[in-house]
Amino acid sequence: VGGAGNTGVSVFPMQVGKWENQTLSLRHAVWPRYKSFSDCEPDDNHLSIVTLEEAPFVIVEDIDPLTETCVRSTVPCRKFVKINNSTNEGMNVKKCCKGFCIDILKKLSRTVKFTYDLYLVTNGKHGKKVNNVWNGMIGEVVYQRAVMAVGSLTINEERSEVVDFSVPFVETGISVMVSRSNGTVSPSAFLEPFSASVWVMMFVMLLIVSAIAVFVFEYFSPVGYNRNLAKGKAPHGPSFTIGKAIWLLWGLVFNNSVPVQNPKGTTSKIMVSVWAFFAVIFLASYTANLAAFMIQEEFVDQVTGLSDKKVRSPCSRSAKALVLNELPLKGEISDCSSKPTSS
């Protein structure tokens, strides 16, 4: 070239692949990621992107049989096809991808200025954690086999812990319809502020024992009703019985202005005063908890949406009545928001 003379070209043979067992194995990728075969530095602007066929987001078509290329509205993508299921041997088949997500990918590549190698996920799944291992598109990104995933990928809490999602670009109306359940207040709600043992101690032990003690002290008191009757100081006066003692303590507990007969003995009066102080504490605790328990409605175990554990974990006993196979969904059941993203 120019003024140079006696120039020559040396040609060295180089193996780029081999044909074995009716399968072509290339040394380099079909679409090289490097500037040349001898350049070992990867191109940061060339990304490996995984996708999943799911119309209308991603549609996979065969290449043009005449030109063996993809038409203008599609982009090349490769699909791994198994040849031997026992050894998982296979080959990459060239396909053409188009759809809503592919249009977003093309627009994004032109704006950010990057190239990409698009391939279809081998197991045909969105991504789920099974035996502590991620599969599908999420697994390709988690295990760094792909830089980005493009497709109708829904956002949920479990996936958000391992990958970063883009801003949602589509919101669908996928949901679960269940019958409305009108909650009702339990008939025994007025007893729920205290446990059964507290009520038993209150009415059986404290009330009866305290009433008997007040009656006994009043009966043997020198100034009591019964002692006055015995000495003849008030022959026609009233007597203090066990029933009157129970009625007195009962009225103090419920703070009712009922006609009662107060004891005259000093010891019995002290016991009634202690019981009245206990009644104030008891009523304050009861009324404070009563409002909270009365407004609570009976719990109804119902499905709250696609993110409900009974739907996401169909093996549990609460989900035996759900027929998940008849849900009009492709792939897996995920978050109720159903927000596909490009990552």
Q: Is the pLDDT of residue 326 over 50?
A: no
Helices 266-295, 242-253: inter-axial angle, 10-degree rounding: 40
Residue 113 lies in a domain: yes
Q: Which of the two residues, 114 and 221, has the higher pLDDT score?
A: 114
Decide: 50 and 121 in contact? Cβ < 8 Å: yes
Is residue 145 domain-shared with residue 48, that is, in the same domain?
Answer: yes
Q: In this predicted structure, what is the pLDDT of residue 327? A: 39
Is residue 103 domain-shared with residue 203, that is, in the same domain?
Answer: no
87 is in an annotated binding site: no
Decide: 190 and 290 in contact? Cβ < 8 Å: yes
Is residue 204 domain-shared with residue 278, that is, in the same domain?
Answer: yes
Query: Lowest-confidence range among 205-209, 219-223, 308-312?
Result: 308-312
Is the peptide bond between 56 and the residue preceding it cis, with omega within 30 degrees of 0?
yes
What total number of domains does the chain contain?
Answer: 2
Is residue 214 domain-shared with residue 115, that is, in the same domain?
Answer: no
Q: Can you give the pTM of this predicted structure?
A: 0.45
133-152 average pLDDT score: 91
Name the percent of the chain in helix, strand, coil, to the closest 5: 30, 15, 50
Residue 308 lies in a domain: no
Q: Specify the length of the chain in residues.
A: 343
Is residue 126 domain-shared with residue 194, that is, in the same domain?
Answer: no
Q: Is the pLDDT of residue 94 over 60?
A: yes
User: How many CB atoms are closer than 10 A to CB 248?
Assistant: 23
Alpha helices, H only, 201-260: 207-219, 225-231, 242-253
Q: How confident is the model at residue 340 (pLDDT cuts 50, 70, 90)?
A: low
Is residue 127 domain-shared with residue 51, that is, in the same domain?
Answer: yes
Q: Which of the two residues, 254 and 274, has the higher pLDDT score?
A: 274
Last residue of a domain, one of 153, 172, 199: 153
Q: Is the pLDDT of residue 319 over 60?
A: no
What the block records as the tokens of 220 is 């043997």
Closest C-alpha among 111, 124, 119, 123 to residue 95: 119
Residues 6+ apart with CB under 8 A from 104: 150, 169, 342
285-304 average pLDDT score: 68
The helix/strand/coil state of 91 is strand
Mean pLDDT of the chain: 74
99-125 average pLDDT score: 90
Decide: 149 and 49 in contact? Cβ < 8 Å: yes
18-41 average pLDDT score: 58
User: How many CB atoms are closer than 10 A to CB 74?
Assistant: 20
Residue 123 Cα to chain centre, angstroms: 26
The CA angle 163-33-100, to the nearest 5 degrees, is 50
Is residue 34 domain-shared with residue 104, that is, in the same domain?
Answer: yes
Residue 65 lies in a domain: yes
- What does DSSP assign to residue 136? H
Q: Is the pLDDT of residue 34 over 50?
A: no
Query: Percent of the chain scored above 90 by pLDDT?
Result: 15
Range of the domain at 116: 18-153
Is residue 205 domain-shared with residue 257, that is, in the same domain?
Answer: yes
Decide: 48 and 37 in contact? Cβ < 8 Å: no
Query: Lowest-confidence range among 45-54, 101-110, 242-251?
Result: 242-251
184 is in an annotated binding site: no
Residues 6+ apart with CB under 8 A from 326: none
Q: Is the pLDDT of residue 244 over 60?
A: yes
Q: How confident is the model at residue 37 (pLDDT cuts 50, 70, 90)?
A: very low
Q: Is the pLDDT of residue 130 over 60?
A: yes
Closest C-alpha among 154, 96, 145 to residue 125: 154
Q: How confident is the model at residue 90 (pLDDT cuts 50, 70, 90)?
A: confident
Q: Which of the two residues, 172 and 120, has the higher pLDDT score?
A: 120
Residue 180 lies in a domain: no
Q: Residue 82 belongs to a domain with what CATH number? A: 3.40.190.10
What the block records as the tokens of 207 is 């009330």
Residue 116 lies in a domain: yes
Is residue 29 domain-shared with residue 149, that is, in the same domain?
Answer: yes
Most confidently modeled of 122-136, 194-208, 295-309? 122-136
pLDDT in tens, 218-243: 887 777 665 655 554 555 556 777 78
Q: Is the pLDDT of residue 330 over 50?
A: no
Q: In one letter, which amino acid is 189?
A: A
Residue 245 lies in a domain: yes
Q: In this predicted structure, what is the pLDDT of residue 224? A: 65
Is residue 197 domain-shared with residue 147, that is, in the same domain?
Answer: no
Decide: 105 and 114 in contact? Cβ < 8 Å: no
Residue 335 lies in a domain: no
Residue 88 lies in a domain: yes
Q: What are the φ and ψ backbone dihedral angles of 93, each rounded to 5 degrees?
A: -110, 135
Q: In this predicted structure, what is the pLDDT of residue 213? A: 86
Is residue 121 domain-shared with residue 241, that is, in the same domain?
Answer: no
Is residue 124 domain-shared with residue 197, that is, in the same domain?
Answer: no
